[in-house]
């Protein structure tokens, strides 16, 4: 019988994942065996007769489960980017096994006693800063996750964690199924009025691929966003907007309302069991913000600055829609459409006029050039490693000494087995073991407009900033230079993780950077200066409304997770409507609900952490101010950023790292000024 490929040492170039050789049926047995192997590694630590030391306990623990981590990263990345019913079924079987194993480790008394012994003697040990952080993290990993609980309470914790892992998987499956289910076929050409040629062509191609006559629109972003932004037909904009807003909120088999309530109640119960007031108190103890009170006062302070501006912007938009088309009441399906029209009128800036300058390949090369100028990285396209889909592009990343820095995967277009949105992930972390520096395998996944028969993939400006955002995360992973895998790359406090991604977006607005890659796909003409100026001028357009929107999501997250008694919540919709009262501008729509498809907090890791986007914006605006003072390609500032932020991962407190780079704590004024909310 052939040995399971996932359980062998990968005999591949750069030790990359052998995607084409992995079969779906390999996963379950591989997981089971890898869990047993990881268990044996834990047993070896606890049965060690030598006294507990940093090396034989803390370090050994961090290096344990290497094979299991590798298999998990391959499997769960495929479940996000290239899933199918078989993989989804396996995920439902595997998640409780992993949850149980995780609990077996954190609730292992003998292991915790060894960790505690080392922790209690830390003042007598000679440890590096990174080792101190690792020791602290390992100790908290136990104490914060039930190691001090009585046996019966440990069983309750296990049961809770198992249920939570299955519920969040089911939540994500329902959202994906709802996204894939909706199709809007247009057969009357007049209903396409206002839509860009590229969008119409893509819709035609999609209909043809499904053997349908006409033009097909879906809830995938490259189809949905242009439709609500440009389609003149208001009733069709309404139809697709309500479909997007009512995902998993239809009281049918794909409904997420009870799942949301169950997740929230279980998280609260878990936090109480561990001695915390709420889930938010539990989560935020390990964040820069530290408490829900800090998050709420931070959010409300920004809200106070943004709300007057947002209201003013909304009134102006309403007046504009009335003047244009005699619209009496601006609805959710009107927002993007009239915003785009108003933006064009104010700045003569049309996203469609910009798109020819943002051919996907040029933007990728632009990001690579900027990474080279700032951090001495070189990207070479390679075809000698396996990939999980034909759309995926693969690169070898080296430094100026031609040493391997990272392997890099990119996956840019929507397809049925891929969830919406954009994210960065890794297939292998960076770490040093037995003197060998294992370099990371990093990936970014997006959902951009596909090339059509007549045009290459041309990005909207928003897609350009999304690519730079995910690439910023990727640089954090690639440039990791730490000893221990659990502190490497993006393994940092959640409200610090968005700094590298958000700071990189700033280069998209700078003339010096745009001239490197914003070239017309037909003529190769560099983007005209007046367009660059318009991009900069329009950067503050509707910033009040945008800020209000982001804050409303963060406040909804905190309301779900920082409330005293989620048991009393009976209606997801009523609860959400109440929370949004203070931040909503558009009239309420009874058919829609955000929470039932709020994957960030019910499927991803952002529960009690959504505020971190805004938090990191304060950091990134302050950090970019420093670059601008010295010049956006200043080597000295870039090297300080690389050495203190990107390379060091989670090895020290993020504020310590930030101050070492910046020389001071971040000031919110830079963000408010950039957003045009203060002069």
pLDDT in tens, 437-493: 999 999 999 999 899 999 999 999 999 999 999 999 999 999 999 999 999 999 999
Percent of residues, the chain, with pLDDT higher than 90: 94
Predicted confidence (pLDDT) at residue 679 exceeds the cutoff of 80: no
Distance CA 428, CA 407 (A): 9
Task: From 77, 173, 71, 87, select the one nearest 424 (Cα to Cα).
Answer: 77
DSSP states of 46-108: HT--SPP-IIIIIIHHHHTTHHHHHHHHHHHHHHHHS--HHHHHHHHHHHHHHHHHHHHHHT-
Tracing tokens 């840019």 back to the chain, one arrives at: 412
161 close to 99: Cβ distance less than 8 angstroms:
yes
Summarize pLDDT for 2-50 with one digit per residue, the tens. Answer: 689 999 999 999 999 999 999 999 999 999 999 999 999 999 999 999 9
Predicted confidence (pLDDT) at residue 1 exceeds the cutoff of 80: no
442 close to 423: Cβ distance less than 8 angstroms:
no
Query: What average pLDDT does range 239-255 have in this prediction?
Result: 98
Distance CA 514, CA 403 (A): 29
Tracing tokens 């389609």 back to the chain, one arrives at: 231
DSSP one-letter code for 448: P
- Residue 514, CB-side half-sphere exposure with 13 Å CA sphere: 24
Distance CA 332, CA 594 (A): 13
Would you say the C-alpha torsion 377, 381, 384, 389 has a positive or negative sign? positive
DSSP states of 246-312: TTT-SSSTT--HHHHHHHHHHHHHHHHHTT-SSHHHHHHTTSSS-SHHHHHHHHHHHHHHHHHHHHH
Furthest C-alpha separation in the chain: 82
97 close to 31: Cβ distance less than 8 angstroms:
yes
Summarize pLDDT for 390-445 with one digit per residue, the tens. Answer: 999 999 999 999 999 999 999 999 999 999 999 999 999 999 999 999 999 999 99
Q: Which residues is 432 bridged to in the sheet?
A: 437
β-pairing, 393-398 with 431-433?
Answer: unpaired
Summarize pLDDT for 316-333 with one digit per residue, the tens. Answer: 999 999 999 999 999 999
Query: What average pLDDT does range 617-640 have in this prediction?
Result: 96
pLDDT at 512: 96
430 close to 481: Cβ distance less than 8 angstroms:
yes
β-pairing, 423-428 with 441-445?
Answer: antiparallel
The DSSP H or E segment spanning 426 is strand 423-428
β-pairing, 404-411 with 441-445?
Answer: parallel
Please report which confidence band the pLDDT of residue 509 belongs to, taking 50, 70 and 90 as the band edges: very high
Task: From 157, 31, 25, 164, select the one nearest 98 (Cα to Cα).
Answer: 31
Predicted confidence (pLDDT) at residue 363 exceeds the cutoff of 80: yes
pLDDT at 605: 87
The token pair that represents 96 in the structure block: 């409780």
Catalytic residue among 340, 470, 505, 510: 470
Chain-centroid distance of CA 578 in Å reads: 27
Q: Which residues is 438 bridged to in the sheet?
A: 431
Cα radius of gyration rounded to whole Å, the chain: 25
Please report which confidence band the pLDDT of residue 101 belongs to, taking 50, 70 and 90 as the band edges: very high
677 close to 306: Cβ distance less than 8 angstroms:
yes
Please write down the HEC assignment for all residues of 633-651.
CCHHHHHHHHHHHHCCCCC
264 close to 561: Cβ distance less than 8 angstroms:
yes
- Angle at Cα 137 formed by Cα 131 and Cα 142, nearest 5°? 135
Summarize pLDDT for 251-271 with one digit per residue, the tens. Answer: 999 999 999 999 999 999 999
The DSSP H or E segment spanning 223 is helix 221-230
Distance CA 331, CA 318 (A): 10
Burial (CB count <10 Å: 0-12, 13-18, 19+), residue 235: exposed
The number of residues in the chain equals: 679
pLDDT at 2: 67
Query: What average pLDDT does range 60-89 have in this prediction?
Result: 97
Angle between helices 109-120 and 129-143 (to 10 degrees): 140
Four-point Cα dihedral 553, 558, 563, 567, nearest 10: 60
DSSP states of 508-533: GG-HHHHHHH-B-TTT-PBPPHHHHH
pLDDT at 81: 97
Q: Is 470 a catalytic residue?
A: yes
Domain boundaries, the chain: 5-148, 182-245
Q: Is 5-148 in CATH node 1.10.275.10?
A: no
Q: Which residue has the higher pLDDT, 673 or 439?
A: 439
Please report which confidence band the pLDDT of residue 668 belongs to, taking 50, 70 and 90 as the band edges: confident
Count of CB atoms within 10 A of residue 281's CB? 20
Distance CA 230, CA 247 (A): 22
Summarize pLDDT for 292-311 with one digit per residue, the tens. Answer: 999 999 999 999 999 999 99
β-pairing, 378-381 with 423-428?
Answer: unpaired
Distance CA 111, CA 296 (A): 37
The token pair that represents 25 in the structure block: 């049926």
pLDDT at 297: 94
Mean pLDDT (the chain, rounded): 96
Q: Whole-model pTM?
A: 0.91
Percent of residues, the chain, with pLDDT higher than 70: 100
Angle between helices 24-46 and 109-120 (to 10 degrees): 60
Distance CA 174, CA 180 (A): 10
Task: From 494, 485, 481, select the one nearest 654 (Cα to Cα).
Answer: 494
The token pair that represents 161 in the structure block: 């964690």
Summarize pLDDT for 517-574 with one digit per residue, the tens. Answer: 999 999 999 999 899 889 988 989 999 999 999 999 999 999 999 998 899 999 999 9
Query: What average pLDDT does range 139-145 have in this prediction?
Result: 95
DSSP one-letter code for 176: H
pLDDT at 502: 96
pLDDT at 117: 98
β-pairing, 431-433 with 423-428?
Answer: unpaired
Strand spans (E) along 107-248:
184-186, 215-217
Give every CB contact of residue 1 below 8 A, 6+ residues apart in sequence: none
Task: From 146, 81, 117, 120, select the one nearest 470 (Cα to Cα).
Answer: 81
β-pairing, 441-445 with 436-438?
Answer: unpaired
163 close to 95: Cβ distance less than 8 angstroms:
no
Give every CB contact of residue 658 below 8 A, 6+ residues apart in sequence: 496, 499, 619, 623, 644, 645, 665, 666
Query: What average pLDDT does range 89-113 have in this prediction?
Result: 95
């Amino acid at each position: 019988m052939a040995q399971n490929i996932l359980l062998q040492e990968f005999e591949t170039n750069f030790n990359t994942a052998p995607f084409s050789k992995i079969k779906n049926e390999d996963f379950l047995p591989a997981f089971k065996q890898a869990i047993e192997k990881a268990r044996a590694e834990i047993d070896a630590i606890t049965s060690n007769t030598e006294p507990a030391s940093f090396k034989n306990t803390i370090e050994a623990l961090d290096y344990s489960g290497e094979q299991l981590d590798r298999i998990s990263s391959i499997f769960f990345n495929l479940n996000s980017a290239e899933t199918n019913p078989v993989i989804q079924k396996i995920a439902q079987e595997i998640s409780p096994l992993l949850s149980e194993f995780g609990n077996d480790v954190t609730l292992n008394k003998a292991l915790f006693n060894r960790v505690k012994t080392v922790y209690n003697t830390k003042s007598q040990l000679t440890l590096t800063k990174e080792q101190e952080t690792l020791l602290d993290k390992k100790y908290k990993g136990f104490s914060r996750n039930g190691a001090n609980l009585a046996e019966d309470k440990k069983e309750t914790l296990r049961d809770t964690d198992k249920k939570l892992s299955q519920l969040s998987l089911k939540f994500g499956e329902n959202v994906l199924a709802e996204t894939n289910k909706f199709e809007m076929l247009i057969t009357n050409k007049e209903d396409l009025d206002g839509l860009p040629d590229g969008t119409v062509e893509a819709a035609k191609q999609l209909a043809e691929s499904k053997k349908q006559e006409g033009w097909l629109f879906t809830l995938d972003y490259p189809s949905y966003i242009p439709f609500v932004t440009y389609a003149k037909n208001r009733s069709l904009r309404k139809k697709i907007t309500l479909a997007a807003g009512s995902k998993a909120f239809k009281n049918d088999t794909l409904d997420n309302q009870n799942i949301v309530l169950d997740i929230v109640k279980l998280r609260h119960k878990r936090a109480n069991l561990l001695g915390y007031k709420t889930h938010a108190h539990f989560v935020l103890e390990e964040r820069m913000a530290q408490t829900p009170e800090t998050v709420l006062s931070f959010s409300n302070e920004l809200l106070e600055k943004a709300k007057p501006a947002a209201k003013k912007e909304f009134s102006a938009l309403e007046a504009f829609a009335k003047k244009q088309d005699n619209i009496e009441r601006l609805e959710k399906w009107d927002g993007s459409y009239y915003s785009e029209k108003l933006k064009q009128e104010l700045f003569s800036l049309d996203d469609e006029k910009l798109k020819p300058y943002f051919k996907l390949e040029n933007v990728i090369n632009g990001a690579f050039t900027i990474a080279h100028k700032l951090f001495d990285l070189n990207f070479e396209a390679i075809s000698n490693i396996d990939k999980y889909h034909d759309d995926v592009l693969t690169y070898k990343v080296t430094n100026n000494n031609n040493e391997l820095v990272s392997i890099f995967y990119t996956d840019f277009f929507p397809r049925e087995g891929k969830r919406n949105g954009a994210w960065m992930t890794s297939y292998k972390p960076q770490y040093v073991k037995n003197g060998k520096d294992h370099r990371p395998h990093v990936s970014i996944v997006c959902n951009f407009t596909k090339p059509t028969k007549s045009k290459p993939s041309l990005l909207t400006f928003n897609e350009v900033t999304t690519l730079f955002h995910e690439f910023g995360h990727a640089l954090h992973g690639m440039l990791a230079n730490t000893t221990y895998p659990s502190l490497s790359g993006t393994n940092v406090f959640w409200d610090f993780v968005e700094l590298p991604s958000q700071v990189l977006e700033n280069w998209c607005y700078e003339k010096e950077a745009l001239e490197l890659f914003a070239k017309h796909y037909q003529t190769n003409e560099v983007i005209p200066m007046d367009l660059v100026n318009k991009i900069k001028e329009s950067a503050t357009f509707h910033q009040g409304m945008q800020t209000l929107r982001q804050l409303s999501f963060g406040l909804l997250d905190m309301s779900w997770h920082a409330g005293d008694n989620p048991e009393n919540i009976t209606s997801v919709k009523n609860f959400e409507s109440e929370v949004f009262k203070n931040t909503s501008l558009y009239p309420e729509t009874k058919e829609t609900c955000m929470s039932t498809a709020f994957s960030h907090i019910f499927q991803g890791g952002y529960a009690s952490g959504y505020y971190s986007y805004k938090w990191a914006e304060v950091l990134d605006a302050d950090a970019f101010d420093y670059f601008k003072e010295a010049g956006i390609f200043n080597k000295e500032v870039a090297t300080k950023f690389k050495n203190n932020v990107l390379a060091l991962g989670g090895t020290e407190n993020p504020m310590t790292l930030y101050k070492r780079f910046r020389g001071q704590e971040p000031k919110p004024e830079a963000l408010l000024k950039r957003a045009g909310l203060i002069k």
